[in-house]
Structure 1
């Protein structure tokens, strides 16, 4: 036994030794790499012309056209482009994630959400577009932005960095508050804005979010989602404006106007509208992040319907477009993912619609992420799985894409250009589009932010108040009737006894007396989420709410048991539709929310705010009805429980 113990001990010591050595080598390698990279940096002099001051970004002692904000954008673009090396042009065409230090320091080595050192990425790989996931407090984030821009301006041409993000202002956000949180004003999800249906409110939201983003140095919104929620099983419905093309088109245009204004300028945030040409008609509702959801299908021959919101986005001058992962099955001559499809990008978007803005692929279409031979994140290279990495890169650029999200295969693209597979003229086309946005946003002139001002702007009380009001406005009243033919139930009278689930009891006590058992209460108030299938193949898949819309039998029985004991008010968070005929029948009051804090829900239940929102999608009556409908058709399930546009108010 002692011998076995010694063997185990020695083995553990060897493993620890290997880990220690690997850590030391890892740290030493990046310390050396960063030191070498920093030697290439130069301080940026200021040039004085009359009463004006300019940054001498290329450090040559004179004011060149690209440094002169008085020059037209096109002149500035051509000037800097003529000075760029092929390496620098290629660096523009990739947008990987980047890490942020807790105190605003630059990430000096790879981390969980960023696979490069910041110094290596900007100085050696010539990258200057990145997207953010987890972020620190507002002031630290603003300081980090300034540190990053200071590093960028000290490179050879001083090309500023552009920072992007997925939506951060929702109560839940698509992939969770852990990755997309922060100290922002809190609003309903986009599907909640659709429930309100007020274009002016959507513009106002965009203007507020824009101010908060720019205050901390975020320049690109990887949103809005102009996709249509025509299959209720799809996991991404909460990021859309629902299933009606006209409603989505109107709100998509308003959203872009709020973020960008009439045209891009120094106050704007550039919108990357997604997912061209519409990611909603997923086969069986499965999402295209995964191989089993790679197909988008059109059994109703309704491809053109899904283009309507994108047409509105193009008229609103969206700065950027993102294609989705999926294959639009049999809609073109080649069944490949959208970004690989030349007919989808060049023929349809570029030629037929005349779009000359930036097209950026969705994340990770070239290569996935593996560790020790285990694929942690699969590549979303649907239809081109058998192609090599080089062949995928060449194909996506030939299709008309300007930038590739999530990957950074600069070396491979350089090799393709030098071999003549991709022409430098083609690289120049994309570089022009990408540089134009940087100039229009004013980043070449002043990419820096004021950290103290950022603290004052982000999540200021006025913004908080408007977000909270929007939460209340987005709540839909679906039922208000006591079982057995009784009268109206809502609004409840304050001071009654209530039993609650998934509501902060301390907050609820401001409205009523909270009791511990349903039997002790006058009413039960339950907050529920739309059910989904637990899928655990990888950590990305666990973030997606997919599959069956029914409540599991055990949970449904438990809920119905409570409702039989006491009159019950249900408020359900609908990140996608739910199948709830039994719950609807047994409840006394039924509300739908699309991202609302407890006080917003309680204000509606107790009459401090009267509901008037409408359902942005139908609620199907059964999974059989869901499975029988066509993925590309709106509101087409048989005998829906609640139709699109349904919503009561008090007094009805």
Structure 2
């Protein structure tokens, strides 16, 4: 037994012993946090046509020495646990047997953007982070994060690529559903509870490491476009509120968050260098490390170094401000900036060459590898926590009490904007759209024609603009107003029958006409049909308050300042609005 394999020795001693045994190639492999897929039966992917991921699992683990992976796709609990154990066995058979750290995007809500998160599937279903913010209860957020921790642990996830604590300050930005809304103070309170629920008081064998994102706050996007794409790369602060966006990150650091992810955005018009935050030394080293005192792992957002094919479409690397640099030069600049790891990349040979040429000293790579290895030791991955029990996973994921807690949180998060005839009583005749008729039948007589209904129940989603390529189409961006033809159809229904309208707010919808003419208006942030109907019929209480304001017009949105929360003129509903029901 080597010292690093001895669980009785101090973590620092084990890290230094292992680091001293590693080749440059093995060190370089630690600096990449890439993606994996699994077969439906829980076996690793050992053949690929290159359409989604270019390399197989054995090639990444055995040949390239990677040990940090983000699992894509939705799967059964038992199958995920089996797959996790299989890739850990692959890693154990390598020269040094360094275990895999498995991560995931959020998996506990209703999202349909696989570029940022996954639907709950087998896991317990809760409202999106916006819904947790609508309730505004740190204890609820702690219980949610603790549930996530227990379900993740059972299948082998040891790093959560969340929470996302950007402020929702630009109404058009597509990533708001993953945030805690526009209030910096509330976000700071909730992230503290979230990190504590995932990690505990300190990182240990029962923890899931929290990778907080997107430093230093990704909300102030010019025109609300997202920096996954070239036309959305600029991040601006016309209101001068840069410091406000840092407040949640200060709270996350104080809570002990283990990891931090800088965003893609390229700051414009500030005293920061005009390069993406993952390349920005003033932000990563100067602000995050030196000023704020963060000592954990810094992992870039996905795809900063190399161009990629996503869903069969070519996408350039998100090397904003350094597009002219080679892949090796980009990697060197990011390491110089202070990052430890490259998300979504798998080119360790680039780091080996940088060390061999002297452009990046091996000692600099050692600094990052120490942080990454230390976390593996603290999480118990070298010892008792390397493998999981598939039977236990099947019993834990989606457990009845977890599912019930998520369902209760859905109901609490619903936000009643206007109440009109609510709560409904008796068994009225119901006409429903975008509601499961079988669910509605438990509350009233479902009819096929609004003319024969006492009430209609209509579920809507926040409007968005279609975008030209498949990947970008998942990021709902652009106008927040309903197109004229769709609005006319909706208003026609509202005129025909008293209608309870529920709008899923992944962004702040522009809906003044609907608010005026609906019999009642409710906002949801991820809730089942029965959760909505329970509230509408008074069987459950809605506690939600708007986590951002709802603008009156797109003209008001376009005139607002991207870094200033709740900055639109004369909103239909202000931030914090909500009626008790």
TM-score normalised by the shorter chain: which range applies?
over 0.9
* 1:80 pairs with one of 18, 22, 25: 18
Alpha-carbon distance change, 114 to 189 in structure 1, aligned in 2, over 3 angstroms: same
1:175 deviation in Å?
A: 2.7
1:566 deviation in Å?
A: 1.1
**1:575 is matched with which residue?**
506
SS in 1 for 2:430: strand
> Does residue 544 of the first structure (1) align with residue 544 of the second (2)?
no
> Does residue 304 of the first structure (1) align with residue 243 of the second (2)?
yes
> Does residue 599 of the first structure (1) align with residue 542 of the second (2)?
no
SS in 1 for 2:328: helix
1:440 deviation in Å?
A: 0.8
Higher-Rg structure is: 1
How many Å separate the matches in 2 of 1:140 and 1:458?
A: 12
Alpha-carbon distance change, 333 to 268 in structure 1, aligned in 2, over 3 angstroms: closer
Q: Indicate if the aligned counterparts of 2:169 and 2:565 stay in contact, CA closer than 8 A.
A: yes
RMSD (Å), alpha carbons: 1.5
**1:616 is matched with which residue?**
547
* 1:342 pairs with one of 270, 281, 303: 281
1:277 deviation in Å?
A: 0.1
Cα shift readout 1:546-580 (whole Å, capped 9, x = no counterpart): 00000000010001011111111100000010000
In the TM superposition, 1:10-159 aligns within 5 A as 63-110=1-48, 112-159=51-98
* 2:366 pairs with one of 421, 425, 428: 428
**1:326 is matched with which residue?**
265
How many Å separate the matches in 2 of 1:333 and 1:307?
A: 15
1:76 deviation in Å?
A: 1.1
1:375 deviation in Å?
A: 5.3
1:588 deviation in Å?
A: 1.0
Cα shift readout 1:278-324 (whole Å, capped 9, x = no counterpart): 00000011111111100010000110000000000000111000000
* 2:562 pairs with one of 622, 625, 631: 631
Alpha-carbon distance change, 135 to 569 in structure 1, aligned in 2, over 3 angstroms: closer
How many Å separate the matches in 1 of 2:526 and 2:254?
A: 29
How many Å separate the matches in 2 of 1:76 and 1:516?
A: 68
**2:388 is matched with which residue?**
449
* 1:416 pairs with one of 354, 370, 373: 354
**1:253 is matched with which residue?**
192
Q: TM-score, normalization: structure 2?
A: 0.98
> Does residue 564 of the first structure (1) align with residue 495 of the second (2)?
yes
SS in 2 for 1:361: coil
**1:504 is matched with which residue?**
436
1:370 deviation in Å?
A: 4.3
Q: Structure 1 residues 136-145 or 425-434, which shifts more?
A: 136-145
Q: Indicate if the aligned counterparts of 2:109 and 2:119 stay in contact, CA closer than 8 A.
A: no
SS in 1 for 2:541: coil
> Does residue 286 of the first structure (1) align with residue 225 of the second (2)?
yes
How many Å separate the matches in 1 of 2:213 and 2:112?
A: 16
In the TM superposition, 1:182-581 aligns within 5 A as 182-370=121-309, 376-446=314-384, 447-481=386-420, 489-536=421-468, 538-581=469-512
How many Å separate the matches in 1 of 2:314 and 2:164?
A: 26
1:137 deviation in Å?
A: 1.4
Alpha-carbon distance change, 444 to 547 in structure 1, aligned in 2, over 3 angstroms: same
> Does residue 589 of the first structure (1) align with residue 528 of the second (2)?
no
How many Å separate the matches in 1 of 2:332 and 2:290?
A: 20
1:174 deviation in Å?
A: 4.0
1:361 deviation in Å?
A: 0.2
Alpha-carbon distance change, 380 to 616 in structure 1, aligned in 2, over 3 angstroms: same
Alpha-carbon distance change, 467 to 371 in structure 1, aligned in 2, over 3 angstroms: closer
Cα shift readout 1:427-466 (whole Å, capped 9, x = no counterpart): 0000001011101110010310000011000001010000
How many Å separate the matches in 2 of 1:181 and 1:404?
A: 27
How many Å separate the matches in 2 of 1:543 and 1:311?
A: 31
1:226 deviation in Å?
A: 1.0
How many Å separate the matches in 1 of 2:300 and 2:121?
A: 26
1:252 deviation in Å?
A: 0.9
Cα shift readout 1:311-352 (whole Å, capped 9, x = no counterpart): 000001110000000012132342000000100001111111
1:180 deviation in Å?
A: 5.2
Higher relative contact order (CA 8 A, sep 6+): 2
> Does residue 168 of the first structure (1) align with residue 113 of the second (2)?
no
How many Å separate the matches in 1 of 2:73 and 2:303?
A: 18
How many Å separate the matches in 2 of 1:590 and 1:445?
A: 53
Q: Indicate if the aligned counterparts of 1:98 and 1:113 stay in contact, CA closer than 8 A.
A: no
SS in 1 for 2:157: coil
Cα shift readout 1:389-426 (whole Å, capped 9, x = no counterpart): 11111111110010001111111111111000011000
1:113 deviation in Å?
A: 3.5
Unaligned runs of 5+ in 2: none
> Does residue 645 of the first structure (1) align with residue 557 of the second (2)?
no
Q: Indicate if the aligned counterparts of 2:111 and 2:117 stay in contact, CA closer than 8 A.
A: no
How many Å separate the matches in 2 of 1:384 and 1:162?
A: 30
How many Å separate the matches in 1 of 2:260 and 2:10?
A: 24
How many Å separate the matches in 2 of 1:231 and 1:325?
A: 16
SS in 2 for 1:97: strand
1:154 deviation in Å?
A: 1.2
Q: Indicate if the aligned counterparts of 1:101 and 1:136 stay in contact, CA closer than 8 A.
A: no
1:112 deviation in Å?
A: 4.0
Q: TM-score, normalization: structure 1?
A: 0.87
How many Å separate the matches in 1 of 2:113 and 2:378?
A: 29
1:136 deviation in Å?
A: 2.6
Q: Indicate if the aligned counterparts of 1:96 and 1:114 stay in contact, CA closer than 8 A.
A: no
How many Å separate the matches in 2 of 1:121 and 1:535?
A: 33
SS in 2 for 1:75: helix
SS in 1 for 2:260: strand
1:179 deviation in Å?
A: 5.3
